Amino acid sequence: MAFPKNFLWGAATASYQIEGASRQDGRGECIWTRFSHTPGKVLNADTGDVATDHYHRYVEDVALMKTLGLQAYRFSISWPRVIPHCTGASNPAGLDFYDRLVDELLKAGIVPTATLYHWDLPQALQNRGGWLNREIVGWFADYTDLMTRRLGDRVKNWITINEPFVAAFVGYAFGAHAPGYSDPRGGLLASHHMFLAHAASMGLIRQNVPNAVAGITLNLSWVDPATPSEADIQAARRHDGFVNRWFLDPVFKGEYPSDMLQLYGSMLDDIDVTEVKQAAVPQDFLGINYYTRNVIENDANGPYLQTHEVKPPHSSYTQMGWELCPESLTQILVRLHQDYAPKALWITENGAAYVDPSPENGVVADPERTAYLQSHIAAVETAIQQGSPVTAYFVWSLLDNFEWAYGYDRRFGIIHVDFKTLTRTMKQSALWYRDFIAKSTGK
Ligand code: FCB
């Protein structure tokens, strides 16, 4: 196999999606608590109030990780659990939880990898504008300072922000995620503040964590034009600027892509775009979350980018309606290496939702998810053979969980969760992954 010896195999989760205990031990409200309790926002009116109850079951969950032979675990910290209200006073019970989780992981020989922001912004900060308020750069720095001082003796791997595209645009411009705003200018402003917050956070991680390994996680998609026509090629280029380059260029080059600056034009009037040079701080890795590719055609009547996504009719799709396209994972990993030369690339999320049968004889049969993981891990291997410096892979997700606007309807876990009893059951994909890790690490 092409995977280097020190390659890390892991699984990922996020606080709001698994922890539950949303009103316990002093945790403050977050934008997803508010959003999910607003009628009509989340499928079946599901909320993360209980989720998988990981807050109380983390010992069992770490034991499951150990059974699988995971080498690393990517979790996120709930900002409102540790700073419940506005800025200022931290919550000792919340901090204790992350201490206990980290200690449990270390005891099991699993490398903790902490994400600071996976979308559960304290509602108290949203009340002051959230990511639209420039002061968030300082708020995020204070929160980073608190967590890195607290955990930095034991946690070396840090991710600042998960998927700024989704957090900024889906939350502030499309309204489909918390806080549910629909203003394209807001999406741009929120993303700008995220770049500045990322830079401030990286500085504090370096200051407080000896031998830190730190970076940001972006959701990136390979983009293909629907036809070889010049119009579709240009449309695909605009879409690439929208989802990929708007995020990559700031963190690697300290600038926004010039074609996008031109396209957004007066929508950027409130932003001093030159400030983004601050964002290009050295990173130890770039995290990428990969699920699918996008096929794009020109659409003269489309909204401001005049693009439209098409679904190739002969492809296979997951339950999310995302096209299966492992080759595009290879393509994007090779392109990142060529265009941006990151020190290392980590796949911080990759996985699939399918309709699973109920557990039978203590296991859940999920052949499609297993095949998805196999083909995508093979695609990573091909990218490594082509020179791309991938050094870690995290399955999304360890557990079935609260899938944002889809609630509990979409299951991404390699471990099944019965949301009535909260019982965990291995899926075949988990057992396949366990055997794969054992084989590839020679254990
Ligand atoms: C990503 C999110 C993650 C999960 C997967 C399916 O965009 O980071 O929390 O919802 O998609």
- Whether 257 is in a domain gets the answer yes
What's the whole-number mean pLDDT along residues 323-334? 98
- Whether 306 is in a domain gets the answer yes
Check residue 1 and give its pLDDT: 78
d(CA 443, CA 440) in angstroms, rounded, equals 8
Q: Is 14 in the pocket of ligand 1 (CB under 6 A)?
A: yes
Write out pLDDT tens, residues 5-40. 899 999 999 999 999 999 999 999 999 999 999 999
For β-strands 286-289 and 157-162, DSSP reports them as unpaired
Write out pLDDT tens, residues 361-414. 999 999 999 999 999 999 999 999 999 999 999 999 999 999 999 999 999 999
**pLDDT tops 90 at residue 86:** no
Q: What is the DSSP string of 116-129?
A: EESS--BHHHHTTT
The alpha carbon dihedral of 163, 165, 166, 171 has a sign of positive
**pLDDT tops 90 at residue 88:** no
Closest ligand 1 atom, residue 320 Cα: 6
Closest ligand 1 atom, residue 17 Cα: 9
Q: 140: CA distance to ligand 1 center in Å? A: 21
d(CA 205, CA 157) in angstroms, rounded, equals 10
What's the whole-number mean pLDDT along residues 64-92? 95
**Atom 4 of ligand 1, residue of closest alpha carbon:** 403
Write out pLDDT tens, residues 174-206. 999 999 999 999 999 999 999 999 999 999 999
- Whether 334 is in a domain gets the answer yes
Q: Provide the 8-state DSSP code for 229.
A: S
Q: Which of 404, 406, 409 to mutate to test the pocket of ligand 1 (most atoms within 8 A of CB)?
A: 404
Write out pLDDT tens, residues 226-257. 999 999 999 999 999 999 999 999 999 999 99
d(CA 160, CA 151) in angstroms, rounded, equals 14
- Whether 3 is in a domain gets the answer no
CATH number at residue 246: 3.20.20.80
CA dihedral of residues 143, 85, 91, 423 (deg, nearest 10): -100
Q: 300: CA distance to ligand 1 center in Å? A: 31
Q: What is the DSSP string of 29-45?
A: PBHHHHHHTSTTSSGGG
Q: Is 15 in the pocket of ligand 1 (CB under 6 A)?
A: no
- Whether 1 is in a domain gets the answer no
Closest ligand 1 atom, residue 14 Cα: 9
Write out pLDDT tens, residues 291-314. 999 999 999 998 889 999 999 999
Q: 166: CA distance to ligand 1 center in Å? A: 9
d(CA 231, CA 225) in angstroms, rounded, equals 9
Active-site annotation, residues: 163, 349
Closest ligand 1 atom, residue 351 Cα: 6
Q: Is 32 in the pocket of ligand 1 (CB under 6 A)?
A: no
Q: Look over the chain and give the mean of its residue pLDDT values, rounded to a whole number.
A: 97
Do 211 and 203 contact (CB within 8 A), yes or no? no
Q: What is the DSSP string of 399-441?
A: B----GGGGGGS---SEEE-TTT--EEEBHHHHHHHHHHHHHT
Q: 182: CA distance to ligand 1 center in Å? A: 20
Number of domains in the chain: 1
Q: Is 405 in the pocket of ligand 1 (CB under 6 A)?
A: no
Q: 13: CA distance to ligand 1 center in Å? A: 9
Single-letter amino acid, residue 51: A
Q: Is 264 in the pocket of ligand 1 (CB under 6 A)?
A: no
Single-letter amino acid, residue 241: G
Q: Is 403 in the pocket of ligand 1 (CB under 6 A)?
A: yes
- Whether 390 is in a domain gets the answer yes
**Atom 9 of ligand 1, residue of closest alpha carbon:** 14
What's the whole-number mean pLDDT along residues 424-442? 97
d(CA 279, CA 304) in angstroms, rounded, equals 26
Q: Is 289 in the pocket of ligand 1 (CB under 6 A)?
A: yes
Q: Is 401 in the pocket of ligand 1 (CB under 6 A)?
A: no
Write out pLDDT tens, residues 95-109. 999 999 999 999 999
* Maximum C-alpha span of the chain: 60
Express as a percent the part of the chain with pLDDT over 70.
Answer: 100
- Whether 286 is in a domain gets the answer yes
Domain of residue 183 covers 8-441
Check residue 2 and give its pLDDT: 83
Check residue 338 and give its pLDDT: 98
- Whether 2 is in a domain gets the answer no
